[in-house]
């Protein structure tokens, strides 16, 4: 049955993934497992083994490309948070404790956030960017309403960094339950005026968390801001729907 419907859909739109595959976003990579957000919820996956390998092709063109060598990719993680992937979902007949899907393809990245990583001696000690997060497109600048004392200059610096990296940005004022410090209200109005959304939250009470979640939809976002402003607490408050 599954094979029949797969073939039929292939006739309708050649070149696209069979409908048995699901597209999703890698949320979390840990211990060889990849949690992938799909339209059917979060699916825990492993990576198809060939995606771990570096296939090396000869330089010459015009001939059928044949793999010359296979190198194991040992240092660089092939799939990272933010990657768009095609997965084969766990089959319904699969027995056992937790159903596990398989990542079959990693789609091309639109952008990468990298850190310089020194590769092994066998590659001549060359440095290459190690991708930490893929397809990042939004910076969430988190500042506390009080404690640690908000510094508007810091928001400015993060906004400048976001612009330089061509990321969308929004300002999140957390710990609203403590009350706004000084004339922060007036200063925040300026950010709103120049086009940066300001979201006010209390991770503690849950106020504004839905609004923030709405801003995260359809984005790959990174949370930045000083230590102690409540980034981890906010992520935990957001988690049920992530
Ligand atoms: N009053 C209040 N405290 C908060 C709120 N969010 C986080 N905190 C507290 O602030 C402290 C630092 O939070 P944490 O999430 O670790 O900050 P991070 O360093 O930015 O990840 C913790 O003690 C949290 O319980 C909030 O909305 N209101
Ligand atoms: Mg933290």
pLDDT in tens, 113-171: 776 544 443 444 445 567 788 899 999 999 999 999 999 999 999 999 899 888 999 99
Among the bound ligands, name the one nearest to the CA of residue 224. Answer: 1
Model confidence at 63: pLDDT above 90: no
Q: Is the per-residue pLDDT at 1 higher than 90?
A: no
Domain 138-241, CATH 3.40.50.620 — does that match?
A: no
Ligand 1 centre distance from Cα of residue 61 (Å): 58
Class of 2-55+65-134 per CATH? Answer: mainly beta
Query: Which ligand ends up closest to the CA of 200?
Result: 1
Domain ranges in the chain are: 2-55+65-134, 138-241
Query: Is the CB–ligand 1 distance for residue 200 below 6 Å?
Result: no
Q: Which atom of ligand 1 is nearest to the CA of 147?
A: 10
pLDDT of 55 > 90? The answer is no
State the distance from the centre of ligand 1 to the C-alpha of 182, rounded, in angstroms. Answer: 20
DSSP string, the chain: -HHHHHHHHHHHSTTSPPTTSEEEEEEEEETTEEEEEETTEEEEEEE-GGGGEEEE--S--SS-----EEEE--SS-SS-BT-EEEEEPPPTT--SSS--EEEEEEPPPS-EEEEEEEPPGGGTT-EEEEEEEES--EEEEEEESSSSPP-HHHHHHHHHHHHHTT-EEEEEEE-GGG---TTHHHHHHHHHHTT--EEE--TTT-TTHHHHHHHHTT--EEEE--TTSSHHHHHHHHGGG-
């Amino acid at each position: 049955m599954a094979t029949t419907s797969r073939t039929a859909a292939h006739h309708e739109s050649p070149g696209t993934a069979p409908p048995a595959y699901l597209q999703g976003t890698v949320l979390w990579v840990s211990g060889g497992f990849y949690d992938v957000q799909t339209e059917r919820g979060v699916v825990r996956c492993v990576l198809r083994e060939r995606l771990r390998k570096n296939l090396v092709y000869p330089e010459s063109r015009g001939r059928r490309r044949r793999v010359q060598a296979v190198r194991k990719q040992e240092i660089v993680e092939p799939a990272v948070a933010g990657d768009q992937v095609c997965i084969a979902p766990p089959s319904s007949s699969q027995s056992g404790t937790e159903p596990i899907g398989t990542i079959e393809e990693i789609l091309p990245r639109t952008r990468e956030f990298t850190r310089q990583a020194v590769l092994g001696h066998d590659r001549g000690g060359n440095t290459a960017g190690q991708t930490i997060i893929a397809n990042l497109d939004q910076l969430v600048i988190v500042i506390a309403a009080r404690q640690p004392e908000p510094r508007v200059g810091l928001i400015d610096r993060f906004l400048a960094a976001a612009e330089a990296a061509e990321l969308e940005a929004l300002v999140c004022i957390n710990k609203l339950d403590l009350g706004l410090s000084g004339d922060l209200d007036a200063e925040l109005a300026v950010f709103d005026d120049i086009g940066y959304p300001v979201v006010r939250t209390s991770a503690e009470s849950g106020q504004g968390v839905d609004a923030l979640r709405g801003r995260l939809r359809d984005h790959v976002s990174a949370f930045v801001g000083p230590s102690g402003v409540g980034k981890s607490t906010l992520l935990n408050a957001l988690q049920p729907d992530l």
